[in-house]
């Protein structure tokens, strides 16, 4: 395997973060405490939601958000198959079933018309779990309209979309509940961590119980909860990363603009499209390669350019989902995209010469020369 000279992601940990982690370690209060509360308030405040509930990961945040929304055994939740598996797995954790609706071929996000068809075919569906994939907000006006018409609770999976906004509203503050991830490849990190946001105080209290063994008072357990708590160590990393988030997003956007400019006019690849009213947070810069995607991957490998395959198959084509009876699902757009997309490096630590190199390598791929 040739050496990767430009990796797809690189954690960006400041000296300030390292110093604050040492402070927390020195304090002796390393489990969930004041640092977690501070991070919850700061992150909710940044996003415009009233309440934040920190969790151990984005996956556990999704699980808690769905449970708090009342999703339980036998319920149906409409969602996208073109996402990381955690999205629909969280539905399964609740004992519910995922109803997969197809995505839009240009934005890769849930297609509101496909959500409508799914709601018509599944009149009992309780919620729609949207994913702002790669950092691009979904077409929320259209989705909110369908949700209102069919009585669906809207939950946002914002794992890839910290800092993105839709018509001036930050994602994560649009649905009833939302879930974020702070995994190291995300727009900001805690190592591992997540957050549920909501502006409903009662739901927030339910989430707080769920992440802490159903307990608000020590050794008194109201509901079946979990240990999904964040640590103070993770929270202080998150708080300091949050201070840099706007700079990270600006760097990602500038890198994406540079890539888009450099790739314009190449006949073999399609750059990401950003619909009007959307502020894309570019967690990933994902291009479409209608013909010969796997050949481009080999070319990138030979030239040492890191890439990501997000996602190589729709969730319902995963062995687990086939085993669970989802094998007959059909979302043709998601299926086509899974053989056509490739994500190129766009992270904030990229240098100009690295962006130029990526453009040069993609431009040198033979189908782009025709």
Ligand X SMILES: Cc1ncc(COP(=O)(O)O)c(C=O)c1O
The closest alpha carbon to 59, from 193, 163, 154, 166, belongs to 193
Is 272 a binding residue for ligand X by CB under 6 A? The answer is: no
Is 308 a binding residue for ligand X by CB under 6 A? The answer is: no
When the beta carbons of 59 and 255 are compared against ligand X, the nearer one is: 59
When the beta carbons of 326 and 365 are compared against ligand X, the nearer one is: 326
When the beta carbons of 258 and 345 are compared against ligand X, the nearer one is: 345
Minimum distance of ligand X from residue 166's CB (angstroms): 16
Minimum distance of ligand X from residue 180's CB (angstroms): 8
Minimum distance of ligand X from residue 86's CB (angstroms): 4
The closest alpha carbon to 228, from 169, 279, 181, 291, belongs to 181
When the beta carbons of 87 and 340 are compared against ligand X, the nearer one is: 87
When the beta carbons of 183 and 307 are compared against ligand X, the nearer one is: 183
| H, E, C per residue of 193-249 | CEEEEECCHHHHHHHHHHCECCCCECCECCCCCCECCCCHHHHHHHHHHHHHHHHHH
Size of the residue set binding ligand X (CB under 6 A): 15
The only residue of 138, 159, 171, 233 in contact with ligand X, by rule CB under 6 A: 159
The only residue of 8, 49, 71, 86 in contact with ligand X, by rule CB under 6 A: 86
| Per-residue binding letters, 179-208, with ligand X (x by CB under 6 A) | --x-x----------x--------------
Q: Which helix (H) or strand (E) segment is 356 a member of? A: helix 352-364
Is 84 a binding residue for ligand X by CB under 6 A? The answer is: yes
The closest alpha carbon to 211, from 197, 232, 225, 221, belongs to 225
Minimum distance of ligand X from residue 104's CB (angstroms): 16
When the beta carbons of 58 and 268 are compared against ligand X, the nearer one is: 58
Determine how β-strand 285-288 pairs with β-strand 341-344: antiparallel
CB contact burial 210-244 (16+ within 10 A = b; e otherwise): bbbbbeeeeeeeeeebbebbbbbbbbbbbbbbbeb
| Per-residue binding letters, 40-79, with ligand X (x by CB under 6 A) | -----------------xxx--x-----------------
Give the CA angle between residues 346, 350, 356 to the nearest 5°. 85
The only residue of 17, 47, 83, 153 in contact with ligand X, by rule CB under 6 A: 83
Minimum distance of ligand X from residue 281's CB (angstroms): 12
Calpha distance 187→196 (Å, rounded): 16
Minimum distance of ligand X from residue 183's CB (angstroms): 4
Calpha distance 174→60 (Å, rounded): 20
When the beta carbons of 46 and 108 are compared against ligand X, the nearer one is: 108
When the beta carbons of 173 and 284 are compared against ligand X, the nearer one is: 284
CB 24 within 8 A of CB 35: yes
The packing angle between helices 15-27 and 232-263, to 10°, is 160
Half-sphere exposure of 150 (CA within 13 A, CB side): 27
- In the complex, which residue's CB is closest to ligand X? 58
Site residues for ligand X per CB under 6 A:
57-59, 62, 83-84, 86-87, 131, 157, 159-160, 181, 183, 194
């Amino acid at each position: 395997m040739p050496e990767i000279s430009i990796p797809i992601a690189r954690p960006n940990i400041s000296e300030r973060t390292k110093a604050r982690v040492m402070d927390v370690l020195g304090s002796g209060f390393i489990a969930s405490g004041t640092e977690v509360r501070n991070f919850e308030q700061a992150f909710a405040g940044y996003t415009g939601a009233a309440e934040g509930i920190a969790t151990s990961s984005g996956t556990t945040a999704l699980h808690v958000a769905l449970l708090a929304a009342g999703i339980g055994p036998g319920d149906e939740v409409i969602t996208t198959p073109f996402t990381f598996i955690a999205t629909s797995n969280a539905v399964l954790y609740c004992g519910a079933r995922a109803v997969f609706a197809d995505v839009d071929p240009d934005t890769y996000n849930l297609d509101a018309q496909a959500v409508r068809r799914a709601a018509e075919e599944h009149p009992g569906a309780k919620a729609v779990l949207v994913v702002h994939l790669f950092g691009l907000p979904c077409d929320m006006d259209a989705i909110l309209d369908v949700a209102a018409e069919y009585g669906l609770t809207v939950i946002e999976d914002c794992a890839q979309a910290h800092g993105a906004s839709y018509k001036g509203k930050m994602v994560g503050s649009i649905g009833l509940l939302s879930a974020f991830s702070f995994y190291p490849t995300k727009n900001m990190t805690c190592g591992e961590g997540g957050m549920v946001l909501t502006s409903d105080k009662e739901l927030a209290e339910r989430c707080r119980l769920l992440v802490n063994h159903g307990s608000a008072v020590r050794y008194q357990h109201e509901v079946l909860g979990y240990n999904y708590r964040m640590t103070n160590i993770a929270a202080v990393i998150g708080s300091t990363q949050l201070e840099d988030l706007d700079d990270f997003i600006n760097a990602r956007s500038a890198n994406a603009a540079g890539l888009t400019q450099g790739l314009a006019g190449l006949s073999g690849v399609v750059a990401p499209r950003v619909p009007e009213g959307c502020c894309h947070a570019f967690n990933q810069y994902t291009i479409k390669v209608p013909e010969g995607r796997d050949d481009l991957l080999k070319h990138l490998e030979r030239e040492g350019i890191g890439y990501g395959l997000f996602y190589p198959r729709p969730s319902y084509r995963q062995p687990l989902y086939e085993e669970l009876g989802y094998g007959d699902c059909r979302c043709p757009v998601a299926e086509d995209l899974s053989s056509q997309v490739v994500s190129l490096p766009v992270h904030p630590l990229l240098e100009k010469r690295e962006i130029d190199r990526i453009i040069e390598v993609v431009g040198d791929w033979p189908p782009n020369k025709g």
